Structure 1
Amino acid sequence: MIHGSVVALVTPMTASGAIDYAALARLVEYHVSSGTHGIVAVGTTGESPTLDMDEHVGVIAEVVRRVDGRLPVIGGTGANSTSEAIELTRAAADVGVDACLLVTPYYNKPTQEGLYRHFLAIAEAAPIPNILYNVPGRTACDLVTETTLRLALVPNIIGLKDATGSLERATELLSRCPADFWLFSGEDAVAAELMLRGYRGVISVTANVAPKAMAEMCEAALAGRREEALALDAPLQALHRDLFVESNPIPVKWALAELGLIEDGIRLPLTPLSAAHHATLHAALRQASLL
């Protein structure tokens, strides 16, 4: 059962940009031991746009192997090409993921009918649990509620990662989606409130650097313990905000490197965090008692 704090895992890299599989193994163990409830491998936080097909599937396969059934693993397999998304989703299913996360097609701006047909084609071609991912701020494409409801009728489309950050949208989704259609927050800053209202978890950037705190906050929120959940979330609010001072995953990879968990490697066109933001991230890490 996928729930709680699901980390949108970074893909660790060396200074040259090569994938650092030793660091990937350490990150998996870090999350298992810290209480993280699930892992998304090679989502957009995992720099999926700059990994080639072999690397993409290879990282997912390595996460599945290292997790070894201890946590659910979700493969990030979305693309703005339907055929590419089908190929990635089939490959992720073959290496043993529990579900796939499918971002809305970016840049080409399909119609709502195009979105429906895109996700339907993937679901029919790869009969594995599919979780849709709506993040209009990054994709220039919004999966509206009516289209989500149509797709919720497809048997293996099981949920939605909602990164609109809108409480109004969340209220609409909660009131209209089937009870067995899982809703996950894609925005750390509102995740506690959304889980208190009925979302089943968060697919989280903050959990990369604060896995134990995020897991504890999610457990309290899912149990309906409002005051405790909000108290646990308060020290994380600066991280929720400041891990986006530059485009994700630039700040979170820098923070992980500062914590000694990975090298500060990232691929172009992304670049290392600007020096002007170092003090801001240090302050956020200290507020969360990570430094």
Structure 2
Amino acid sequence: MTEARPKFPVLVVDDSPVYRKLIEHALEDEAYSPLFAKNGHEALELYAKHGPPIVITDWMMPDFSGQELCERIRGDLQHQYTYIIVLTSISEKNNVVKGLAAGADDYLTKPFDPGELLARIGVGRRTIDLHREIERKNKLLEEMAHTDPLTALPNRRALEEWSGRQLRGAARHGYPLWVVHADLDSFKSINDTYGHDAGDQVLKEFAAILKEYTRASDICGRMGGDEFLLVLTHVDERHIQLTVERLREQFASKKFCFGGTNITVTASFGTCGFMGKEPPEFSTLVQQADRALYCAKRAGRNQIKIEFP
């Protein structure tokens, strides 16, 4: 059995009880859920509360005009796109241009045919559905632009945007921020010996372990290749060493089986911190963490080096 679609909310604004009743009758057997307002102030209250995607408004109202209502709805950025239909009499045709210029999408002259009203509402619904689909796809594209496709972690762009904001917050509120730069040891040999699918499996496993150590106030991501970044906040000097050490140990203890051969893979970690009132560029901290990572590699790999602030 097909699940019924929820009714589509429509806000009707008209000081005439006759026209409100006419519109109610036109919509009662259709897939719409009408809300009714007698004036502009009632309309704005209902709009703020329910956010109906379609608004049908009379041009002349006791408190303010349909033009002003259009302008106020268009100025509300809290809701998704609203399709506005203005009702006007034949003698008020010159107001149609004003209404459209104020943000209305369509108009209907009084007295109107119920069939034409439904047809114009149908156009509005198709337009709203199209807007929602575009917004959904734009959101998906935005997520894709900020996500590493292999590991589903934030990518370099997302890391830089988030961390730049967090770094300013750390300076403003006085909490520490740490940048942990991780690099898998001898990763190229895994690809060369066991193939890229094996290398991808190692990367995804390391990403999964990173996620375990990432709280809501932190972020982890893939910089590219076998390089990852973890940004931690509100952690003191003693606990940053313990946190990164647990991460190193957990990954080093992980067993991989490729082609019947069991292997372990390790990672090296370079860490630097910031604590102060004048934040550097985030890229500067990444460079410092990279220098610490280089020291960990030179010291024999599978190690942690920290530059304390």
TM-score by length of 2: 0.25
TM-score by length of 1: 0.26
**Over alpha carbons, which structure has the higher Rg?**
2
| Structure with more strand by fraction | 2
Ranked by relative contact order (alpha carbons within 8 Å, sequence separation 6 or more), the top structure is: 1
